[in-house]
Amino acid sequence: MPRQTQQQIDDEIIDVAAALFARHGLKETSVQRIADAVGYSKSGLLRRYPSKEALQDEVVARCLAEVRGIAGAVAGFAPGPSRDREALVRLAALAVRHPGFVALILSGVSHSDADADGGAATRAATRAAGSIAAGAAQGAAMPPAAQETARSGTGREDTGSGASLGLIADALADAFAVTPETGFARRARVTGALGALAVVCVAMRGRLPHDAARHLVDVAYDALGHARTEGESAAPPMSRQDVPTQERRKP
């Protein structure tokens, strides 16, 4: 197997850390836990990232940039099936490349403050979907802390990264044109679609076929309630380049 480049090593660390942050929370994930998951010593990891805060800031910044990129790419589409399809194609490609990112994105949106615009319920439900996705890789149930946060809808992190997770929530809502006026049915479908995509991708990490992104798009697109002709895929043809050549370690 070819030796990993420095960029590939950094990408692996960031993605594994994202999955651990999604499952255990920013506060409860230690540097040692991340180091163990990626197969490095704690001192070796700290040579790359001088503190846990520096690592989590980098993780959240990359996730935010990815989601904002997706929202920007679909901004020119009117709300509806075409916009949803474009957003899902991009999100599925991200999920295949960085399953930990998607787990963190979906669990992290709930860290934004509960508000009066009706978004709190969707964020609480999305938190649950993200927590399940992060635990699915190890067949684990949602951690007790995540269960409590999902029930309360008021989970917060006392860090700058926690505030940035709220920005991820806003960007994800923009991508799917979810506004304060959006009804429950649409919110439920968007939450279910994104949760399904993340659960499948994280649970099957390391065992994804070359056309995984296409299947992920179809699963999520169907969950949104959009009609498809039998046998027709909602996604464009995918190449083998959509699947990482380096199999990442499971967090």
Q: Measuring CA to CA, how many Å separate 81 from each of 118, 173, 197? A: 23, 15, 17
pTM: 0.71
| The pLDDT of residue 169 | 80
pLDDT at 30: 92
**Which residue type sits at 16?**
V
d(CA 194, CA 27): 24
Neighbours of 144 (CB within 10 A): 8
pLDDT value of position 194? 84
Topology of the domain comprising 6-242: Tetracycline Repressor; domain 2 (1.10.357)
Calpha distance 177→79 (Å, rounded): 6
Give residue limits of the domains in the chain: 6-242
pLDDT means per 10 residues, the chain with 251 residues, are 78 90 84 92 91 90 92 95 94 87 70 41 44 44 41 44 73 90 90 82 75 87 84 58 40 42
